[in-house]
Structure 1
Amino acid sequence: MKFYRRLQQIKAMSFDLDDTLYDNVPVVRRAETWMHMHLRSQYPHITHLDRHAWLQLQRQVIHQQPSLVHDVSAIRVACLTALFLRHGHSELDARVIADDIFQQVLAVRSDFVVPENTFAVLSALASKVPLIAVTNGNVDTDKIGLSPFFTAVIKPGNGLRMKPYPDLFTLAADTLALPPQHILHVGDHLKSDVAGAISNGFMSAWFNDQQHSLMTSNKSSHLPDIEITHLDELTSLL
């Protein structure tokens, strides 16, 4: 553990989820692969939808509906809807099919096992201070067993912007009924989590299990309060 500044009293902790409490990269890749295979097998009239084409479609949809940029679930539904509209489906049918596929993608995306150590650390921390999840993602925390540890799970969408914007951090502090300077936010992303936390008055614990360099990263703009490489280091702070 590295300390970059003195911590204030920790009265609560907020947690990023993806790539902080579990390895999210293979999970998302598997969900993306499932979606493309499902489209090819169930809707063979939809052609040329490789990863590049999907990203291009996503850019077009966000350009047309820029408010979606803060809601990963809404983006996927909108992209699928646009895809089926382009291939001759009615607006109603396109939306129904898109919603159905999205629910299946979300189920695959939330079908993984969280490391036992994560549960142990959260259990130890939750016995001492309230915990809250603050995520830009859309994982089903009920399905992966994380919900019982958190006072609330806060996600963007419905007018709430993603981290590092203030929206989720402000809502987290309000939900906890605590001043932000007494909340330690734990996350792996230097912009969303570290810069977001510091800019919004939280303390920041940078979870750096990949041995990245704080001083050379082009994503580094704010100094965290502490840097950790293992979640169980957090238990020594309380």
Structure 2
Amino acid sequence: MIILKSAEEIDLMREAGKVNKLILDGLKDLIKPGMTTMEIDEFVERTVRKHGMKASEKGYYDYPGSICTSINEEVVHGIPSRKRVLKEGDIISLDLVVEYEGYMADAARTYGVGNISPEASHLIETAEKSFFEGIKYAREGQRLYDISHAIQEYVEGEGFGVIRDYTGHGIGSDMHEDPPIPNYGKAGKGPRLQRGMTLAIEPMIVEGSYEVDTLLDDWTVVTKDGGLAAHYENTVVITDGEPELLTY
């Protein structure tokens, strides 16, 4: 069941979204070669507490971190560690859920560490641009898969692949609500979009094959072929006009 949100509920999500954006924007300037992913996690924890909020991923199905830190071939759910040190030329996907008074906002960005290859830059840029191609259709009355189809068409047109095993999702008082939002599919399919829907739309794209494995930590998802992965996400509200981005 898709839960439509009231203006009051969206206000709470909007506040969470502001802090989510603040953190991810701050990390863009903070990450550098030699930094550990645990230092990223500690920055997140300090900042959410300072604003009286909560990092919802911590403890979710026993996930140990406040943010997911996925490097290079890691697609999603990488676990922060003092042993994981960022190197020049790495790319890192940061996926964060911030909660305020029981309501959540979810966002992800992929950043380069120091100087990265032109190919990696193209991948990161394509993930972001595909999101904005998708939300052209995030309007009341459109079908959900209109968004999915636009993302897939743009990503594949740039020569990259779209992950099939993981999708976007509804969000609100729960981190994962209906509907699931694949980043591929046929236009004209899926539920019709309605005002008050709150959606975490998140292209996850790869250099090569979209097939993935999960590491022995039972969390970290990696590309089977070792190709780089990039992730871009915002929490989106369907309105009676342009979609509102709560984390952008």
Task: Give the TM-score of the pair, scaled to structure 1.
Answer: 0.30
RCO comparison, higher one (Cα < 8 Å, 6+): 1
Greater strand share, 1 or 2? 2
Task: Give the TM-score of the pair, scaled to structure 2.
Answer: 0.29
